[in-house]
Amino acid sequence: MKTLKSGNVGKVVIKSAELLKNVYNENFLLDFGSKIQSVYSSFDTRRFIASVMDESWAELSLKARMRRISQTLGEYLPSRYETALDILFAINDTCTGLPYLIFPDFIKIYGQAENHWTLSMKALENFTQQSSSEFAIRSFISADPERAMQQMTIWAQHPNEHVRRLASEGCRPRLPWGEALTIFKKKPQPVLSVLELLKADPVLYVRKSVANNLNDIVKDNPELVLETVRRWQGKNTDTDWIIRQGCRTLIKQANAEAMELFGYTKFTNESGFITDASLSIARSVIAVGESCELQYRLNIRAGAVVHIRLGYGIDFVKAKGQTSRKIFFLSDKIVLGGTHITGKRKHNWSDLTTRRHYTGDHRIVLLVNGQEVAHSVIKLVM
């Protein structure tokens, strides 16, 4: 079975939850039970498995299976929390990857008491180095934000990259698959204080977490992030990469200040740098599930060098007839005046878990630095 380091946990879980839940099967539980028995001979593996895999097991989601295992584990390990943790510590080096999110989840269930705080933090720090504690720490943050963020500050300076990543990933306001931290949606300053310590981290997957955290904050506090960008920009190449990635939503939205900060040429109707542009589609009518090819071209006015971001937007028809725009990336480049740009892109109209298609006229627009320069219409049918 392929192991997954914590840096991949969130993305992989979201995309493949239905498949990954099958990792938790009888063979996994037998192997897990034998590991526990090697250090705790009283552990009853057979009864443990029977309790976990009851008549409702087949219908449980990935998260529900994780919770079932970690909760039942507490019923078969010693009732004294410290003793139970000693057993998990003893086998932790052999328990790596996504399936062992059950260890931090055990802490979330059984380690919230005040007298367990210090030990629970030690356990989350330990377990995140083999799997990830990014989901479990969030309940501790919700219960006592000030104390928990002091711990995140300590972890942000830890020599281990997985622990440093936890300091960022664990306090993301909108962590996918994790409970939202509403307090930080409203007031993200404590999060930004932690990110200050990580803004030039030498490890890419820590920097990716910092960028994703900034992108979470942008969705509720764009001005605060732009202020942070102005302070951080131009001092370190790794930091510059973080803030560029962290502002990707603002750039996608063509936020004027973000576009200026990252050097995109200002586009106005009065002084546009596009002399002409077109967007065409070979077929004007297409069925749900089919694909079409978009062809675009544009000419850059002769003169200065321009930095452009090309994309296309589709005004998708929704169930009640209203439309909602989704923007797709094409390219990001610096080009000379007088350049003629052409390109093609295949677009698939199949239904997705995140988007269902409805019949009707769909307006498609070509975007340059967020501005519409050409459009076309396609009719979607069943």
Residues 6+ apart with CB under 8 A from 88: 77, 103, 106, 123, 127
Residues 6+ apart with CB under 8 A from 59: none
pLDDT for 18 equals 58
CATH topology for 6-221? Leucine-rich Repeat Variant (1.25.10)
- Dist. CA 97–CA 1, nearest whole Å: 10
- Cα 269 versus chain centre, distance: 36
pLDDT for 322 equals 95
| CB count in 10 Å sphere of residue 248 | 16
| Strand 371-381, strand 323-335: pairing | unpaired
Question: Which H or E element spans position 11?
Answer: helix 9-20
- Dist. CA 137–CA 127, nearest whole Å: 11
Q: Which two tokens stand for residue 205?
A: 């997957």
Place of tokens 């310590």: 197
pLDDT for 2 equals 34
3-state secondary structure of 287: strand
pLDDT for 143 equals 96
3-state secondary structure of 229: helix
10-residue mean pLDDT profile of the chain (382 residues): values are 44 54 94 97 97 96 95 97 98 94 98 97 98 97 97 98 98 94 96 98 97 97 97 96 96 93 82 88 94 95 91 95 94 94 96 92 95 95 92
Question: Which H or E element spans position 145?
Answer: helix 145-155
Residues 6+ apart with CB under 8 A from 159: none
pLDDT for 344 equals 96
In the 8-state DSSP scheme, what is residue 330?
Answer: E
pLDDT for 10 equals 47
pLDDT for 16 equals 55
- CA 167 to each of CA 156, 191, 205: distance values in angstroms, whole numbers, following the listed order: 5, 9, 12
First to last CA, the chain: 41
pLDDT for 270 equals 58
- Dist. CA 327–CA 252, nearest whole Å: 7
CB 78 within 8 A of CB 87: yes
Beta bridge partner(s), residue 345? 294
> Which class is 274-381 in CATH?
mainly beta
Q: Which two tokens stand for residue 246?
A: 């962290």
Place of tokens 């490890």: 203
CB 166 within 8 A of CB 135: no
Domain boundaries, the chain: 6-221, 274-381
Does pTM top 0.85 for this prediction? yes
